């Protein structure tokens, strides 16, 4: 899995903080942005803590993601407030690149690889006789894909809350933590409390008491 942050709103923390100030002050936006940076970040923290997250929608982030399975991208696109551009299996011939889940790798790696080789042999054969768009029907969810994703910060906060959780599927959880690490480098204030609720709010919405991250009373 490779994840890169290839574009983002300039100074996302400052942008969001200035947007928050704009709602309460009769000042132009440029002068608000020129306020003391630490004061702006302090205001942004307070606004986010109060639950007024609409201001962070003005900050957006674009990720280039590769080496992930179609099983992952099917989950990813369920996050509706985002923009996606995915590599097409209709127009691009697929090389034999696939993801092996850790649970399968531990016990069934050899058989799994044998099946994948059979699938791609059939795929290569079909391509000689039918359109690629039809040959792709034999490809498994494990097939690797590339996807470009753009989300605003509010959507990302929701994404991290759901997908950084231990009960999220392993591959999309790995992706979520990699994305969180990248955005924290450029927008540390917006994302300083991002992540699963057990870590950020000391609560578990699913009440999964058997989870090793389940909040303890001492927390």
* Of 16, 135, 1, 188, residue with least CA distance to 76: 1
* Torsion sign across C-alpha atoms 185, 187, 190, 195: negative
Distances (CA, A) of 93 to 97, 124, 151, 210: 11, 9, 28, 44
Q: What is the pLDDT of residues 122-132, one digit of tens each?
A: 999 999 999 99
The residue that leads in pLDDT, 30 or 44, is 44
The pLDDT of residue 17 is 92
Question: Can you give the pTM of this predicted structure?
Answer: 0.91
Token couple for 175: 């992706």
Residue 130 corresponds to which tokens in the numbers above?
Answer: 């039918």
Alpha carbon 107 to chain centroid distance?
29
What would the mean pLDDT of 62-87 be, rounded to a whole number? 97
Q: From the candidates 106, 163, 173, 184, which is the catalytic residue?
A: 163
80 carries an active-site annotation:
no
Pull the structure tokens for residue 102.
Answer: 């850790």
Residue with tokens 């009769």: 26
> Which spans in 82-215 are helix H?
102-107, 109-127, 132-135, 153-163, 170-186, 188-191, 197-200
List, in sequence order, every residue forming a beta bridge with 148; answer none if it has no partner: 64, 85
């Amino acid at each position: 899995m490779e994840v890169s942050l290839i574009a983002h709103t300039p100074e996302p923390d400052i942008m969001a903080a200035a947007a928050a100030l704009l709602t309460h002050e009769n000042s132009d936006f440029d002068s608000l942005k020129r306020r003391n940076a630490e004061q702006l970040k302090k205001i942004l923290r307070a606004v986010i803590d109060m639950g007024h997250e609409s201001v962070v929608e003005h900050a957006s982030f674009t990720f280039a993601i590769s080496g992930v399975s179609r099983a992952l991208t099917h989950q990813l696109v369920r996050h509706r407030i985002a923009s996606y551009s995915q590599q097409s299996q209709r127009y691009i011939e697929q090389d034999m690149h696939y993801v092996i889940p850790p649970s399968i790798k531990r016990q069934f790696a050899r058989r799994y690889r044998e099946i994948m080789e059979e699938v791609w042999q059939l795929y290569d054969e079909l391509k000689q006789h039918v359109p690629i768009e039809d040959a792709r029907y034999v490809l498994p969810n494990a097939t690797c894909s590339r996807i470009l994703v753009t989300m605003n910060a509010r959507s990302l906060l929701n994404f991290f809350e759901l997908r950084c959780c231990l009960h999220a599927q392993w591959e999309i959880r790995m992706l979520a933590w990699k994305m969180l690490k990248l955005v924290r480098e450029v927008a540390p204030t917006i994302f300083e409390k991002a992540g699963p609720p057990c870590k950020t709010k000391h609560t578990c919405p699913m009440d999964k008491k058997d989870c090793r991250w389940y909040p303890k009373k001492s927390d």
